[in-house]
Amino acid sequence: MRILRGASVLAFVMLAFPLWADGKNRFESPTAGIAFTKPESWIFASMQATLENREKVRLDDAELERQMKVQANPPLAVVMKHPEPYPDVNPSFQVGLRPLGPLEGKTATEILGLIVPTLEKAHADFRIVTPISESMVGGLAAARVSIHYTLKTSDGGAYPTWSDMVVVPRGKFMFFIGMGRKQGDEGATAEVEKMLASIEFQP
């Protein structure tokens, strides 16, 4: 089964822009103004596969799932550690962008504080592992939170997942960065943190 099991609810709320990858390890979206580098062994997921996989995710709140799919936009980039199908939580790193709209002027921590309650409704066993805190990404003010939940799929799969969610406001937009993996997978944690540290924001 092809499903990015490390991917979080962020997959429902990301906005696509023109992009390119160098065919190896660097991703760049000149329009969105962001670039990052992945580990040699990780894989860029195609947009088609990402959208197909997203359709297989099931939330515990059916109405919320319907609303999110109606409003859904694809992410800028999704990177996964293993080729699919993979029998367990497949570590993933994804980046997306959406307009701030009415959230313009709010700090990163304020924005994340408004998003987390929606995630709580999406997963019955949702819990915060590390509370929302201020951070820096690519020289910009950011906020992040660590969460745990069980990712459920349309074929009956249930995969306990540990995810870090990072929000970076920039102008009239905000970047979302999701880093999913199995709890206790220190190797994958180090690799997604390295990708986060490699992010560059361009003019």
Q: What is the pLDDT of residue 191?
A: 98
Q: Residue 167 pLDDT more than 90? A: yes
Q: Residue 174 pLDDT more than 80? A: yes
Cα separation, 119 vs 72, in Å, equals 15
Contacts of 186 (CB under 8 A, 6+ apart): none
The helix/strand count (H/E) of the chain reads as 4, 12
Look at the pTM and tell me if it is higher than 0.75.
yes
Q: Which domains does the chain have, with CATH numbers?
A: 9-201 (3.40.1000.10)
Written as one letter, the residue type at 59 is L
Q: What is the pLDDT of residue 11?
A: 38
What is the pLDDT confidence band of residue 86, given thresholds at 50, 70 and 90? confident
User: What are the tens digits of pLDDT across the range 122-161?
Assistant: 788 899 999 999 999 999 999 999 999 888 877 777 888 9
* Average pLDDT for the chain: 82
Q: Residue 176 pLDDT more than 90? A: yes
Q: What is the pLDDT of residue 153?
A: 77
